Amino acid sequence: MVCKNCNDNLRTDYSYCPNCGAKVIRNRLTVKSLWGDIIERYFNLENTFLKTFIHLFTKPEVVAEGYIKGIRRKYLNPISYLGISITLSGFVVFLIKKVELDINVDFLGSGTTSIAQEKLMDTMYDYHALLFILFIPMMSAAGWLCFREKKYNFSERTIVFIYSLAHYSLSIFIPSCIIILFKPDGYGLFSLIALLFMYLYTAFVIKRVSKEKGIELWSKIFIFWTLFTIMYFSLSMIFPIIMLILGTINLEDFKPTKI
């Protein structure tokens, strides 16, 4: 008998391949076996995804630093974790468009909006994955001071923030779906609360990974927040300029209109 995954020779009494660890499948695929495979892969306590999700709440430093130090099989790797989060956030965007959610872009309460704001919001939905990925190097650059004593380079800081942002996105997935489906008019407020949660969770990760305490820790986190916020608003300003250059919007679109 030969392993279907790595082509290594197997004894007939083997249940798992000793070379690659894959389970030996002897029976045809049925609905029952398919459902059992889904439960085993995604909901058992030994599953790497579930373990990664839980431990990023309880001990994120173990997950992130474990990968940095070479532990690869205990937790889901950051790229796969990020891929799952982007896929699910794409489903949230799909729901927003499906229910034709009208998010109030008048954050200042002026009673006006503009065509440019609405087009910008639509474009952000279309390129949400790219924007989300851009947050990662921004955080890695802003966090250089937080991990200075650990001498983490840019790539190592990137691992920390890939896990952080992906976990933030996965954490708000179910609440986002519930609000969109049952209280869509509250999604704008929820988005602001979710943004605050992102800042707080990232601060929690920095605290756990850096191992620093007291004023020095919070001063570094404050600098991190400040630098990231500056980069965030800079990106927000660049986006409309790019849209103007590409002709997606024009100056007339910025004319305010009553809501």
DSSP letter string, 19-35: TT-PBPP-SPP-HHHHH
User: Is the whole model's pTM more than 0.95, yes or no?
Assistant: no
pLDDT of residue 72: 79
Ramachandran quadrant class, 70 (left: phi over 0; alpha: psi -120 to 50; beta: rest) = left
Choice between 17 and 35, residue whose per-residue pLDDT is larger: 17
How many residues belong to the chain?
A: 259
Q: What is the mean pLDDT of residues 7-28?
A: 75
Q: pLDDT tens digit string along 109-168?
A: 544 455 666 667 777 777 788 888 999 999 999 888 777 777 788 999 999 999 999 999
Q: How far apart are CA 84 and CA 78, in angstroms?
A: 10
Assess whether pLDDT exceeds 60 at residue 42. Answer: no
For residues 197 and 45, the model is more confident at 197
State CA 15 to chain mean position distance: 36
Rounded mean pLDDT of 246-256? 68
Q: What does the pLDDT read at residue 112?
A: 45
Measured distance CA(127)–CA(110) in Å, rounded: 27
Q: Do residues 240 and 249 lie in contact, with contact meaning Cβ atoms separated by under 8 Å?
A: yes
| Helix then strand then coil, % of the chain, to nearest 5 | 65, 5, 30
Q: What is the mean pLDDT of residues 166-189?
A: 92
Torsion of CA 236, 240, 241, 242, to 10 degrees: 100
> Taking a C-beta distance cutoff of 8 angstroms, is the pair 141, 227 a contact?
yes
